[in-house]
Amino acid sequence: DAKAQGRNTWHWFEGVATSTSNEYVALRRELMEAIEHEQFVLYYQPIVAADSGIMRGMEALVRWQHPERGFVSPGEFIPLAEQTGQIVAIGQWVLHQACSDLANWNAKMNRRLPVSVNISPFQFRRYGFLEELRKTLDETGLDPELLELEVTENVLMSGVGQGIDTLQKIRQMGIKVSIDDFGTGYSSLRYLRQLPINKVKLDKSFVMDITENTANAAIVQGVITMAHHLGLVVVGEGVETTEQAADLKQRNCDLLQGFLFSRPVPFDQLTATAEAAQSIAD
Ligand code: C2E
Ligand code: MG
Ligand code: MG
Ligand code: MG
């Protein structure tokens, strides 16, 4: 259930919250100020075709530019924001900014690249989320076909029926859906068949040792084969070496994402990054 899931995402903050609740209160207040003063910034990481290296899309990744702490990574503040419910406001900002950025960039560059946005369980399950999606697409003018939501398998496992219902409505709007960090949650391969999704993102823990660990390689191969049977696109996450890229490509993985191709970059570097990806491909 939602509570059990919240506990799973608690790791970073748990120690702080139980030892000094003052710090919990302080951080929650800082996060409130961050929302109010828009101290967040979106970075974009390219997702490239495994066969050609051509950029096929990008993932929006939020960062917090804290006035004193400097850059805070999402792994540190998203779990806290989930606990406090502040993820709703942050998620709304992220969704709007990503859609607006890409609508503008595509218009300027005369391209049609899709953008992937991470959606927290709390956000996904919230009443009003579908309306928020509709409104954001309306306001930013982004083609729904160019928006992709990344959800984790656990989001869909708890309250399966309701999760699928929400997914179907999202798909009816023309928006695409990926399962993020696939392989780290509780869902079975068979379960995938029931879900109206488009993509599976293989978690980086599988990709990391794919060239050394034959058991992992077998899992990866199994997921790719099965996903293709279900008509799903497969993305390999966390690709850092040419060996990993070659291995995934040889296993028919469709898309790749990782530091090998590019780190996440600020919006103003997107054009240069896209051009670099193109020239690698040429
Ligand atoms: P994720 O959605 O699985 O995003 C991929 C993470 O892997 C990003 O970390 C990215 O920088 C990192 N990464 C990419 N390529 C490589 C690589 O080659 N090697 C390694 N070691 N890492 C790589 P980041 O930006 O720190 O984000 C961490 C997580 O925070 C994300 O994992 C996602 O779950 C969450 N997150 C980020 N932005 C948002 C957001 O706007 N909303 C929500 N709800 N969650 C977000
Ligand atoms: Mg993601
Ligand atoms: Mg992931
Ligand atoms: Mg993740």
**Ligand 2 centroid to residue 235 C-alpha, Å:** 11
- Return d(Cα 117, Cα 62) in angstroms, integer: 10
ipTM, two decimals: 0.98
Pocket-testing residue among 78, 115, 240, 242, ligand 1, by greatest number of atoms within 8 A of Cβ: 78
Rounded (5°) CA angle 122-25-30: 75
pLDDT in tens, 202-245: 999 999 989 998 988 998 999 999 999 999 999 999 999 999 99
Report residue 282's pLDDT band, with 50, 70 and 90 as the boundaries: low
- Return d(Cα 116, Cα 149) in angstroms, integer: 6
pLDDT in tens, 55-84: 999 999 999 999 888 898 999 899 889 988
- When comparing pLDDT for 7 and 35, which is higher? 35
The label of the residue with tokens 């660990």 reads 213
Give the pLDDT score at 158: 64
Task: Give me the amino acid identity at 191.
Answer: Y
- The 3-class SS string of 44-84 reads EEEEEECCCCCEEEEEEEEEEEECCCEEECHHHHHHHHHHH
pLDDT in tens, 91-134: 999 999 999 999 999 999 999 999 999 999 989 999 999 999 99
Nearest CA to ligand 1 atom 34: 118
Q: What percentage of the chain carries pLDDT values higher than 70?
A: 89
